[in-house]
Amino acid sequence: MKAIRSGTRSTRSKPSTPPPVVETVIDGDDNNPVLEPPRPHLETAQNHQVACGVVEVHQSEVKGLVSSDLPGRFPFTSNKGNNYIFVMYDFDTNSIIGKPIKSREAEQLVIGYQQCFDELREGNITPIFHRLDNEVNTLLFAAITANKCKYQIATAHDHRQLLAERAIQTYKYHLISVLNGTDKDFPAYLWCSLLEQVNIQINLLRKSRIHPKRSAYAELHGHFDFNTTPLGILGTQAVIFEAVSQRPSSFADHGKEGWYIGPCMHKYRNYKVYVNATRAERESNRVDFFPTKCRIPLSTDATRLTAALTNLNLELTPQPATP
């Protein structure tokens, strides 16, 4: 839920004014008027336009602006010693990136900044201007300058000049909703392990300014394939299946209990689970989920039969010959 300020703009209908009358003077006779030459479709040299698919993006609208700030301390210290989230907002891609850091010290701020900057550079986004809060940090300024980026400090007590303030609000709202969807027994100290999927979810929901038909995630990392990288419900109780070679004895349990904390981006259809017994993270493609606050849609006999008949009909339908 979010409080919305109302009554800031008048809802009265303004009286419609007729369009101004423009007198047109045409040289020559009425049968052969003198017309201006047609303009080209794209005037790249004059208007500085960049054609991106079917959408034309003015180069003047691509600012290369990023903004960063630090929210307040998280209520719980994570198992990795993190207490804060470094949030960076990129204006062009409209993406929000959050990285966990341990403290507000200068060295930790530089670590969080460099991780966010490297993720933007991997997506072929080169920030050229950085706007941050009014806290003076010489180490952070040196890191920004080393990345060939200019910086400006926002005015104290004026949050309208800092784009990261609104990004922090959006990021915190999304994180709060994710934490409320976790299991009631989910350990609070695992919050920093959820941020990877939180970044994916929030940027999949946001629209890029470079290409309005793409999401902010697609602008940075390309198309997200749910078939190769499935996403589960964060904080859900899960059981990892163990093969016979992994069991200590033939009478041991066939699985290990844990908590789902995110996807495996570089493994095919794998999940990342925090195992309670070993207090470590494990990756596996054989995981069963046991959610308590929602239902996982399962296929029934009717849906499986319908899918089989659809595939059979597709195979029996004659296809046109390829040239």
CATH number, position 129: 3.30.420.10
User: What is the structure's pLDDT at 134?
Assistant: 84
Please give the pLDDT value at position 37: 53
Asked if residue 93 belongs to a domain, the reply is: yes
Could you give the maximum distance between any two Cα atoms of the chain, in Å? Answer: 102
**Residue whose C-alpha is closest to residue 274's, from 265, 266, 287:** 287
How far is the C-alpha of 58 from the C-alpha of 151, rounded, in Å?
Answer: 23
pTM: 0.75
What is d(CA 307, CA 52) in angstroms, rounded to the nearest whole number?
38
Does 46 reside within a domain?
no
Instruction: Tell me what the mean pLDDT of segment 182-211 comes to.
Output: 96
Same domain, yes or no: 74 and 188:
yes
Domain that holds residue 151: 61-192
Query: Is residue 26 situated within a structural domain?
Result: no
Give residue 36's pLDDT band: very low, low, confident or very high (50, 70, 90): low
Separation of alpha carbons 190 and 142, rounded Å: 32
Predicted pLDDT of residue 158: 78
CB contact set of 93 (below 8 Å; sequence gap of 6+)? 120, 123, 125, 208, 209, 210, 216, 219, 220
State the pLDDT at residue 13.
59
Band the pLDDT of 8: cuts 50, 70, 90: low
Residue 49 in this model has a pLDDT that exceeds 50: no
pLDDT in tens, 140-166: 999 999 999 999 998 887 777 788 999
Chosen domain end from 169, 192, 215: 192
Rg (the chain; Cα; Å) = 27
Band (48; pLDDT cuts 50, 70, 90): very low
Q: Answer yes or no: is pLDDT of 45 > 80.
A: no
What's the pLDDT at 295? 80
| Residue 315 in domain | no
Query: Do 178 and 243 belong to one domain?
Result: no
Answer yes or no: do 183 and 96 share one domain: yes
Mean pLDDT of 250-269: 94
Domain total in the chain: 2
Asked if 183 and 65 sit in the same domain, the reply is yes
Three-state DSSP at 303 gives helix
Residue 129 domain-assigned (yes or no): yes
251: helix, coil or strand? Answer: coil
DSSP 223: -
